Amino acid sequence: MALSKMDIPRWAQHFLECGIEGCERNCEFYCNLCHQRLCKQCRDEHLKSPEYKNHEVVLYQQRKRQLPVKKCKIHPTKDVDMLCEECQVPVCSRCVTMGDHERHKFVDLETVYAEKFTLCQQEISKIHEYFLPTSQDLQKEIKKDSSKIKQIMDSIRKSMKTEGESLKSLVDTVISENMKQLDQIEHSLLEDLNVQDKTMDDYITYLNNLVKELHRCLSSTETLKLMSEKKPKIRSIPETTNPVTPGFTAGQYNKSDVTKLLGKINVPNTKAEKREIRPIESVYNTAKKPTHKQMKEDRKKSDKKQTMSLSASVTKVREFKVPGVDDEVYHVSLDQPDRQWISDYWGNLVQTDLQGNVIKKIKTSGGLAIGYHTITQDRNLIFTDRNKRVINRITHDNKITEFIKTRDWTPLSIHSSHINGDLLVGMTTYREAKVTRYNKTGKELQNIQCDNKEQGLYRLPCYITENINRDVCTSDLNKMAVVVVNKSGQHRFSYTGQESEFHPYGICTDVLGHILVCDDVSNTVHLLDQDGQFLSLLLTQQQGVKYPRSVCVDDENNLYVGQNNTNTLTVYKYLQ
């Protein structure tokens, strides 16, 4: 869509301009033959000219890359612009007539260059979307395993030390008891020997005294007295016993016995398993690369997405009031072609038809300025419950069931992927925020929280959506930015508006990959391309928009816009 200079504030000039001299409108198209940027009006004028009517004009995102100028080495005045298919050598138009290339087939070098350029971009995309993140994930696993190995080894060391100390304690106890027993035996033996020694001492004294007495008798002059003395009877020598000493039997043990007591290191004899590498098909389409012929044929084909473009102006299709919401439309989830779910700040969730007639109404704890409900591929309504920290599901029979428990995290925004049915949920906890991906059954698949510098990506993810390239686009009110990551969770860009202050609310994408986001500060709806480049202000105050809160696009490419100051839902046509 192109707006006049009166419609675009002076601060909103950061868009790609038409390349026609004097034209300042927004560039939407590209002539592959002229390599010229064109707005819609200039494209029409370009193709009206008999000179250019057969030129190939495409959307700017689908442009053919211009061949860099290179002079022929054989003919320096000629540019290299052809490729000899037989020799696979770039040549100029004069080389075509030379004998070396006679009867050879030639193709336009610019076409080949554009195809090679595209293939190279695809390889770069695969590296960024699969090979780099997968390798980084494996590296994280390796580092985790290194830390785990250290913990395991420290645990084994501690166990070994404990076993050694336990055995040492037992050894000390046994030695102490043996020593005590030996001391007791020694004391008993010595005490017995002391008694025997005293007995022998007394006996020796007795013998010495007896000898003295007999000597006196021998020296006596009284012979008759000696003759009359009886022969003395000597007492027998007292009996004594030899001590019975204990022995010591040395322990019969070897290194194996000690190992049995202390334990040993068990080294596994199994081979280390290879780390699982997720298949590239899980994140990237690895279909066979197209040939030059196939790519040429593909360029001739056109579908609805390729031919569709922004309208010259936004046209109001219809509008209707929504009973049951409190003068505000904060979020819209499109249900059947003629029905939609609409919520306000206070948690009133209402289903209406295209005339605004209420079909169902639910009181929830959602509300606030968040996109807390979505419609799944199965046409079930999913909505978050901040108070209970759960995600509820309403089936066609109107039963409300708890689908997912988010534990310590408070679920805010939610979006059901139109591509594969995954659920993207924006959550917060104390000073932290993240986006979590679940599959259709509620199994947690992915957590997106930090960029490659380990800095938090989110603060308050109020609204969330998914683009056609599977980028996850989030409106973060506290960061005052639209935060976009790819399907692997790598940060691609953050859009912070065109003024010094930007308050993003409702966000959605369209069939062309545009990102549409509400800005409460300027009372506008911004239009970005899928790489975050500002294209234009799609809706402004001049078109009656004030405090926009919610945006969504239906299958017919109608744009639904809800606002803060009214319960009226307005529908516009902006694609043709």
Dist. CA 64–CA 299, nearest whole Å: 10
Indicate whether 139 and 282 sit together in one domain: yes
Indicate whether 422 and 528 sit together in one domain: yes
Q: Are 331 and 372 in contact (CB under 8 A)?
A: yes
Indicate whether 349 and 338 sit together in one domain: yes
Q: Based on the number of CB atoms within 10 Å of its own CB, is 250 exposed (0-12), middle (13-18) or buried (19 or more)?
A: exposed
Q: Is residue 82 part of a domain?
A: yes
What's the pLDDT at 148?
A: 87
What's the pLDDT at 284?
A: 52
Q: Are 330 and 294 in contact (CB under 8 A)?
A: no
Q: Is residue 236 part of a domain?
A: no
Structure tokens at 186: 């020694």
Mean pLDDT by 10 residues, the chain (576 residues): 38 62 86 87 88 85 78 84 82 77 77 78 81 87 88 88 88 89 91 92 91 79 65 85 85 78 76 78 51 48 54 84 88 88 91 88 83 91 92 84 92 93 93 93 92 90 94 94 93 91 94 93 93 91 90 91 92 88
Mind giving me the DSSP string for 221-254?
S-HHHHHHSPPPPPPPPPP---------------
Indicate whether 299 and 384 sit together in one domain: no
Indicate whether 202 and 326 sit together in one domain: no
Q: What is the pTM of this model?
A: 0.51
What's the pLDDT at 8?
A: 37
What's the pLDDT at 332?
A: 95
Residues of the chain by 3-state class (helix, strand, coil), percent to 5 = 30, 30, 45
Q: Are 133 and 486 in contact (CB under 8 A)?
A: no
Indicate whether 98 and 160 sit together in one domain: no
Indicate whether 443 and 345 sit together in one domain: yes
With helix as H, strand as E and coil as C, how does 14-30 read?
CCCECCCCCCCCECCEE
* Pairing of β 524-528 and β 534-539: antiparallel
DSSP 379: S
Q: Is residue 197 part of a domain?
A: yes
Q: Which residues pair with 65 in a beta bridge?
A: none
Residue of 433, 437, 417 whose CA lies nearest to 425:
437
Q: Are 350 and 329 in contact (CB under 8 A)?
A: no
Structure tokens at 410: 């408070």
Q: Is residue 331 part of a domain?
A: yes
Indicate whether 291 and 314 sit together in one domain: no
What's the pLDDT at 287?
A: 41
Q: Is residue 228 part of a domain?
A: no
Indicate whether 301 and 408 sit together in one domain: no
Q: Is residue 3 part of a domain?
A: no
What's the pLDDT at 351?
A: 92
Indicate whether 313 and 202 sit together in one domain: no
What kind and span of H or E run contains 313? strand 310-321
Q: Is residue 490 part of a domain?
A: yes
Domain count, the chain: 4
C-alpha triplet 78, 84, 88: angle, nearest 5°: 115
CA distances (Å), origin 483, targets 185, 461, 491, 526, 562:
88, 9, 8, 14, 22
Q: Is residue 241 part of a domain?
A: no
Indicate whether 399 and 440 sit together in one domain: yes
C-alpha triplet 201, 183, 191: angle, nearest 5°: 15
Range of the domain at 191: 125-220+257-262+276-307
Dist. CA 103–CA 43, nearest whole Å: 39
Indicate whether 515 and 553 sit together in one domain: yes
| 3-class SS of residue 13 | coil
Dist. CA 101–CA 82, nearest whole Å: 12
